[in-house]
Amino acid sequence: MCPSPAHSRRAAALLAAAVAACAGSGEGLDRDGRPLRIDAGAADAGVEVDGGDGDGGAGPDAGADAGVDAGVVDERVRFGWIQKNIFTQTCAAYCHRGAAAPKSLQLDAVNGYQRIVGVKSTEVPTLELVKPGDPMNSYLYVKVIPADPRRVGERMPLNEPPYLSTEKIEAIRGWISRGAPRD
């Protein structure tokens, strides 16, 4: 059965409209084509957040969409990626290694995880360096975002600007939101 010419024209018009609606530069979209949003806490810090869950990365489902798609966790929100691409390349490479590490915070591959997760900050003892599930109350995150009144001293890493990229800051936020697992 052949479609009528009127039906074919309608189908072509609908297809053209759908294609036109999808055209664009991709600006303002995350890597999956979803609109970026600004986390209320990170907005003050100038950090774009791609969580998609609408709760600003907080609450019991924090991280449910932070780098997770159909049960697959994005490598950038795994501790192994953060250790290799942030702590080892930047933090431990310049300052946070060996016995002379500032605040005894050794972020090399051997010591990094156990020195930060669930450990109280020496600068702001009311905060843990990494409070699993709560990046906005994790002092390590506070130290790398652009602005937070709770931060003592300089923004990290000191060997910058440019500081950590938005991608790397988001990786830290996503990993902490996931509960800071050692994966």
pLDDT, tens digit only, all 183 positions of the chain:
455 555 445 544 433 333 333 344 444 434 544 444 433 333 334 444 443 333 333 333 333 344 444 567 788 899 999 999 999 998 988 899 999 999 999 999 999 999 999 999 999 999 999 999 999 999 999 999 998 999 999 999 986 677 999 999 999 999 999 999 999
Residue 9 belongs to a domain: no
Which domain covers residue 84, as residue numbers? 34-177
25, 31, 55, 170 from 28: Cα distances, Å: 9, 10, 19, 15
Tokens of 134: 């709560």
pTM recorded for the entire structure: 0.62
Residue 55 belongs to a domain: yes
Domain count, the chain: 1
CA distance 182 to 144: 20
Residue 168 belongs to a domain: yes
Q: Which residues contact 120 (CB under 8 A, 6 or more apart)?
A: 127, 128, 129
